[in-house]
Amino acid sequence: MSNQQPNPEESVISLQNISRSFLTALQRQHDMLAFTLAGVRTSDAKIYDYYSNVSRIMPAPAAHLTHDQMVAYSRGLLLRTSINDLLALSAEVMNQVHLLCLLIKTRGHNVASNPEADKIIGQKQEAFVRMNLQEKFNEFEQTYNIISELEDAIFSIAAALRVLVRTGMVTNDDISPDGSLTLEFKAMKDIDATDSPEGGAKKTKMVDTQRTFRPGEMLDLTDEELLGLNITVAKFFHSLFRSVDEFGREQLEGNK
């Protein structure tokens, strides 16, 4: 869907730069998703037919999709590409903050270049980039004592992508030990004044929602759930940035 990617060539490797870059990229992802969903919802069959015939020839007329078929096709494609982009951003943000943690752990306050140390840093970073998602989370926990509270949510998104890339149908290979594939979504919920401990005007808060799929079911999401995955990944980013900030403070204060 969106090819918006954070700029990896920051002049200074810092948590602030990484945070700003990736949250901006995620916002562009969110905006593009909202824009595309709006386009799918408001598409006009006559306008589609007009553009389908502008060139007055088609590569394979027999394979041409009608407007209704194209709505379903485009939404399925949107689902796959959006989830794929979210996973790519999640993996890349882990790569970037790992490099920062590695620099802090290896160099501390010393920012001067050291060829021998730089070689070791480069080798460790290359090894981390090649790791799969589970190995990345393990490395953060074992080496830096950083545990993500949304690890399961990211794994469920990865599982959903595997299903969508394959056939869209959940199989026994996709489920957890409880016999299902569960996706987690973050959403904002209005709270009535009577439900609020403080009382007063209506408020909103972030809540967790879930969607469970069983083997044999087709994996599909509502527009709200798809947008909710973006918010879930944003929450994952914030959680990771907070943990890295705490790690950096502890390391640097201990090395004074």
Q: Are 206 and 200 in contact (CB under 8 A)?
A: no
Structural domain containing residue 92? 78-254
Residue 31 belongs to a domain: no
Average pLDDT of every residue of the chain: 88
What distances in angstroms separate CA 118 from CA 12, 99, 172, 187, 193, one per listed residue?
A: 16, 12, 45, 43, 57
Residue 106 has a pLDDT of 87
For residue 212, the one-letter residue type is T
| C-alpha 1, offset from chain centre | 13
Residue owning tokens 């194209």? 70
pLDDT score of 66 more than 70: yes
> What pTM was estimated for this model as a whole?
0.84
Residue 3 belongs to a domain: no
Task: Tell me the two tokens of residue 180.
Answer: 């299902």
Residue 105 belongs to a domain: yes
Contacts of 135 (CB under 8 A, 6+ apart): none
Confidence tier at 6 by pLDDT (50, 70, 90): low
Residue 225 belongs to a domain: yes
Confidence tier at 9 by pLDDT (50, 70, 90): very low
Residue 93 belongs to a domain: yes
Q: How many domains does the chain have?
A: 1
Residue 205 belongs to a domain: yes
Residues 165 and 81: their CA atoms lie apart, in Å, by 10
Residue 53 belongs to a domain: no
**3-class SS of residue 179:** coil
pLDDT score of 11 more than 60: no
Residue 71 has a pLDDT of 92
Residue 39 has a pLDDT of 92
| C-alpha 69, offset from chain centre | 28
Residue 33 belongs to a domain: no
Residue owning tokens 């209506």? 202
Q: Could you report the per-residue pLDDT of 215-250, keeping only the tens digit for each?
A: 999 999 999 999 999 999 999 999 999 999 999 998
Query: What is the average per-residue pLDDT within 3-23?
Result: 73
